[in-house]
Amino acid sequence: LAKTTQPVSMDSYEGQEVNITCSHNNIATNDYITWYQQFPSQGPRFIIQGYKTKVTNEVASLFIPADRKSSTLSLPRVSLSDTAVYYCLVGDSGAGSYQLTFGKGTKLSVIP
Amino acid sequence: DADVTQTPRNRITKTGKRIMLECSQTKGHDRMYWYRQDPGLGLRLIYYSFDVKDINKGEISDGYSVSRQAQAKFSLSLESAIPNQTALYFCATSEPGQGADEKLFFGSGTQLSVL
């Protein structure tokens, strides 16, 4: 399974765009990149998933370069409610979510 | 009402006691999972089940057992609880989608403390 590396923590002011980069050098051909968000005392929540180039939904954008060895989750104009831990997962989720490994994630703190 | 419900939300027990954590879901998903989260760490998979007759060990199954009573119910048991099983436990469900569309849906968690 591909190992991921992401920053332990990040701080941002309200209204700013936040970019969280995840490194996954040994990503396999069938692997997808998935991001989850977790608020304190809650279970993780799916944010976005992609395979290559760019994916955008109502919550975030995911940028994946051609070599797919990294990916960047972009949160536009964050608010205090975006304070959470963000997990980058890499795996063949089409073969079963049990293969996806949650690392320590990135703790994002949004400052007023 | 929550799609994935875990009971109890909090539980304090003593070393050596048997305890069961329960999970029920209304999403109609076949796949269910139990994860454990320790402070400052990610989630680790304990057991997973792809249907009522299918049970599989995850990364850290030692000391745990599970029962899939029905499509909607998946319970986790600690036969003889020990203090290092103190953690936040999550149940999750998923349904295989088109390609890699499979997403996990989590419950709100059960905070277990073993004294």
CA dihedral B10, B71, B106, A94 (to 10 degrees): 150
Per-residue pLDDT at A97: 62
Residue B10 bridge partners (DSSP):
B111
A/B interface, count of CB pairs below 8 Å: 67
Instruction: Judge whether B22 and B73 are in contact, CB under 8 Å.
Output: yes
Tell me what the mean pLDDT of segment A63-89 comes to.
95
Most confident of A31-45, A61-75, B90-104: A61-75
Tell me what the mean pLDDT of segment B43-49 comes to.
92
Per-residue pLDDT at A29: 86
Instruction: Judge whether A106 and A6 are in contact, CB under 8 Å.
Output: yes
Instruction: Show which residues on chain B lie within 8 Å of chain A, measured between beta carbons.
Output: 4, 31, 33, 35, 40-45, 48, 50, 56, 58, 88, 90, 92, 94, 96-97, 99-109, 111
Of B85, B62, B61, B80, residue with least CA distance to B19: B80
d(CA B19, CA B79) in angstroms, rounded, equals 7
Per-residue pLDDT at A104: 85
Per-residue pLDDT at B59: 87
Q: How confident is the model at residue A101 (pLDDT cuts 50, 70, 90)?
A: confident
pLDDT at position A98 over 70: no
Distances (CA, A) of B71 to B8, B18, B51: 20, 24, 7
Q: A31-62, pLDDT tens digit by residue?
A: 889 999 999 889 999 999 999 999 999 999 99
d(CA B67, CA A27) in angstroms, rounded, equals 34
Tell me what the mean pLDDT of segment B37-54 comes to.
90
Per-residue pLDDT at B36: 96
**Which of A93, A102, A104 lies nearest to residue B102, judging by beta carbons?**
A93
Q: What percent of chain A has pLDDT over 90?
A: 71
Tell me what the mean pLDDT of segment A71-99 comes to.
85
Cβ contact (<8 Å) for B96 and A98?
A: no
Residue A111 bridge partners (DSSP):
A13
Per-residue pLDDT at B100: 53
Q: B54-66, pLDDT tens digit by residue?
A: 999 998 999 999 9
Quote the distance between the C-alpha of residue B31 and its chain's center. Answer: 12
d(CA A93, CA A88) in angstroms, rounded, equals 13
Q: Please tell me if residue A97 touches chain B, with a CB cutoff of 8 Å.
A: yes
Q: What percent of chain B has pLDDT over 90?
A: 80
